[in-house]
Amino acid sequence: MFGLTHGEFGRLYMFATLASALCIPFVGRLIDLVPAHRIVALVVPILTGAALLAGYASSLPTLIIAIFLLRLFGQGMMTNIALTSTARWFVVQRGRALSLVVLGHQGGEATIPLAFAALTLTYGYRTGWLAAAMALGIIALPFAYWCYRTPRDPAHSALAELTEQSERPETRFLTKKQIAQKYRSWTRLEVLKDPIFWVLLTGVLAPAFIGTTIFYHQNYLTALHNWPPQLFATSLLIMALTTVCCALITGAVIDRTGATCILPYFLLPLGGACVVLAYSGPEITLIILMVLLGISYGIASTLFGALWPEIYGLKNLGAVRSITVSAAVLATAIGPGVTGTLIDLGMSLPAQMIFLGIYCFLAAGAMTIASIFLQRRS
């Protein structure tokens, strides 16, 4: 398209993604100020228009704008709306509720790309984008609007939130005043000034950076190890199933123990995946890699949905989550660019994975310290 090489399109995609990451903290704040169904009524039509723009772009600037809008209102805002609203509406069983959201997210990742690829290969990319726009406008918009328009007291009532918090096992012997202090809502500025937030952010960035890097370089990896191309597609399904199972288990564990108790563990499978890829060879190692990625993704996706409201409260949750979403999107943009550059300079991706694995294990140690600190602070 437009005579772009793979490298040129990769850089274009990276810069558009970086621009969207910079905008997410400002746009994401809206979820704290406007009811969720009205945000849906704004975001989904824009995303629909972006899909049409991507399919029928007649110039390079138009394509850049389309990618920017897809990243900002797709991965950015749609994810923020779902996780923020769910975390705000459910308190006592927040982990289970968030794990069901992850179930839908993973189901989409496992099926939608395959359907899009099938349409594109059969009828052309314009038909694929047209089908995506129709699905958003005809199915997603009315269904999501209907789901989100029902009022939920925890989203609008501090008393309701306080009452639900008092039902948690760790607060059963506290007074209302003590519970209110324990679960006070931090402002975004207070969160940014909290050193422990930046420690936690090192863990948030790892799955996004490493996972996107592996998926982006799948053609390179299959050629490097002589893996059949169809094996990678099969392994993605295995990863999705593992992610769903681990997300559901993690949700139940979080409701019993709290999110901070899970912090020390979610990066260990990711570090193991990096080690497997660094020394991989036979085809079975790709399956092992995807299982380990699925375990880490399943834990992390539910964990970070429940962690921020548990630590920083509900009132400004959209603003807080928009920072973490922006950082994750930033990591997805930087990962392929940095690792691709190192590959061009002669450092293979398996060699890079050794250092990424070391990073995961060091970050897991930092998460352990953060978990202890947060439990003492609460």
pLDDT, tens only, 76-130: 888 888 888 887 787 777 878 887 887 777 777 767 777 887 888 788 878 888 9
- 151-163 exposure pattern, b = at least 16 Cβ within 10 A, e = fewer: eeebbeeeeebbe
Residue 269 pLDDT more than 60? yes
**Rounded CA separation 244/295 (Å):** 9
pLDDT of residue 152: 66
Nearest CA to 325 out of 28, 67, 100, 88 is that of 28
Alpha-carbon distances of 20 from 23, 225, 330, rounded to whole Å: 5, 35, 9
**Rounded CA separation 311/320 (Å):** 11
Residue 174 pLDDT more than 70? no
pLDDT of residue 198: 92
Which whole number is the average pLDDT over 235-258? 86
pLDDT of residue 365: 93
Residue 167 pLDDT more than 70? no
Tens of pLDDT, residue by residue over 11-42, are 787 788 888 888 888 888 888 888 888 888 99
> Length of the chain in residues, anyone?
378
pLDDT of residue 157: 45
Q: Is residue 259 within 8 Å of residue 352, measured between CB atoms?
A: no
Q: The domain 6-150+184-377: what is its CATH number?
A: 1.20.1250.20
Which whole number is the average pLDDT over 170-190? 62
Locate 223 and state its tokens: 């050629």
**Rounded CA separation 139/137 (Å):** 6
**Rounded CA separation 336/331 (Å):** 9
Other CB atoms within 10 Å distance of the CB of residue 355: 13
**Rounded CA separation 306/374 (Å):** 14
Which residue would you say has higher pLDDT here, 137 or 117?
A: 137
Label residue 7 by pLDDT band (50, 70, 90): low
Please report, for the chain, the start and end positions of each structural domain, with discontinuous segments joined by +: 6-150+184-377
Residue 310 pLDDT more than 70? yes
Nearest CA to 30 out of 44, 47, 43, 49 is that of 43
**Rounded CA separation 241/236 (Å):** 9
Residue 371 pLDDT more than 60? yes
Q: Is residue 67 within 8 Å of residue 11, measured between CB atoms?
A: no
Which whole number is the average pLDDT over 160-182? 51
